[in-house]
Chains A and B, each alone.
Chain A
Amino acid sequence: MKVKEKVWTYKDYLELNDNKRYEVINGRLYEMPAPHFEHQVISKYLFLKLNTFVEHKSLGVIIYSPFDVILSEDTVVQPDIVFISKENLRNVKEGRLYGSPDLVVEIVSPTSYYRDRYEKFRIYEEAGIKEYWIVYPGEKAIEVWVLKEGKYELHSIASGKGKVKSEVLKGFEVDVEGIFKENNPK
């Protein structure tokens, strides 16, 4: 949901004080409606899998939304799930991440489809985020995009059944059936 017509900056965003959730993307302010139950269930399963892997290997931190990621002066995002590697944790200040996480997951919903699939895709690519997972609940699909010479390439994909794997988190793979098991689209 696009909100107000002006060029929004990170500073403007911090001054907002209305208890709503927003993102600022290329200077545009977007209100973030509360996610639906199904969205959160998927988020939970994926988070748990990722967290087990990352914690067990002490690779860094997996954190779920809402959490501010400041990518630039005019772009502040709250990805659904974020991985911040140990070395990158020094960029967490005042409760926010200043800079690019190592891996980002977005779970697509009808209100965020274009933003996640196209706008944020380009933004994450430009920000040099090494890996971007896009989850499509309706199609029970997960895409894993990996940065290769500054461009995202489709590294792994599965829908309905099968596994997807990470490159940034070497050895991590997940069965899509398990992630969407409580999700029953019409």
Chain B
Amino acid sequence: MKVKEKVWTYRDYLGLNDDKRYEVINGRLYEMPAPTPWHQGILGNLYLILRNHVRSKGIVFLSPIDVILSETLVVQPDLVFISKDKKDMIKDRIYGSPDLVIEVVSPTSYYRDRYEKFKIYEKAGIKEYWLVYPGERAIEVWVLKEGKYELYSIASSEGKVKSKVLKGFEIDLKEVFDEG
């Protein structure tokens, strides 16, 4: 949902005080509607599996959490992984590019997740981007190769997807879409 016509910056965003969730994407302000239970169920499963795997390798954050990519780019990815050696970017908010970002797609976010944020995360040098499509029971893992995302792993209906950033990490679609 696009909200107001002006060039929004990180500062403007911080000045908002209406208890709503927003993202600022290339200077545009988007309100974030509350996700559905189905969306949150899937996200919860992903978080538990990921956190269990990561342990001391870094930190996993669950949305809502602000990631400040630039002056005019503030996103709240559904899941964020930051490796131990990049811990300094975690302050009152997260400043800079996480190692891995996951978005669970919904009808209100489809274009933004699949195309807008795809380009933004690519440009921001986020090494790995997972797109989760609940309705299609699909997960795509995009990995940065020479500055461009390449489809590294994909599964739909059944099967597993694997991470490159988190060596040895793979996930069965059943655990994501059927549990909980």
Interface residues of A (CB under 8 A from B): 108-111, 113-114, 118, 136-141, 154, 157-160, 185-186
B171 to chain A, nearest CB (A): 16
With A138-B134, A139-B136, A154-B115 in contact, do A159 and B156 touch (Cβ < 8 Å)? no
The reply to whether B135 and A114 form a contact with Cβ atoms under 8 Å apart is no
- B110 and A113: CB pair below 8 A? no
| Of B109, B111, B115, B136, the contact of A138 (CB 8 Å cutoff) | B136
| Set of chain B residues within 8 Å of A137, measured between Cβ atoms | 135-136
How far, in whole Å, are A136 and B135 apart by their CA atoms in the complex? Answer: 8
* Interface residues as binary, B27-50 with A (CB distance below 8 Å gives 1, 0 otherwise): 000000000101000000000000
Nearest 3 A-B pairs (CB), nearest first? A138-B135, A160-B107, A113-B156
Is B10's CB within 8 Å of the partner chain A? Answer: no
Within 8 Å by CB of B136, from A110, A154, A158, A160, lies A110
Which residues of B pack against A, CB within 8 Å? 36, 38, 105-111, 115, 133-138, 151, 154, 156-157
B107 contacts A159, CB within 8 Å? Answer: yes
CB-based contact B157/A111 at 8 Å: yes
Residue pair B108, A160 in contact (C-beta under 8 Å): yes
Bound Cα distance A158, B115 (Å):
12
B157 touches A185 (CB 8 A): no
Bound complex: CA A24 to CA B32 (Å) = 43
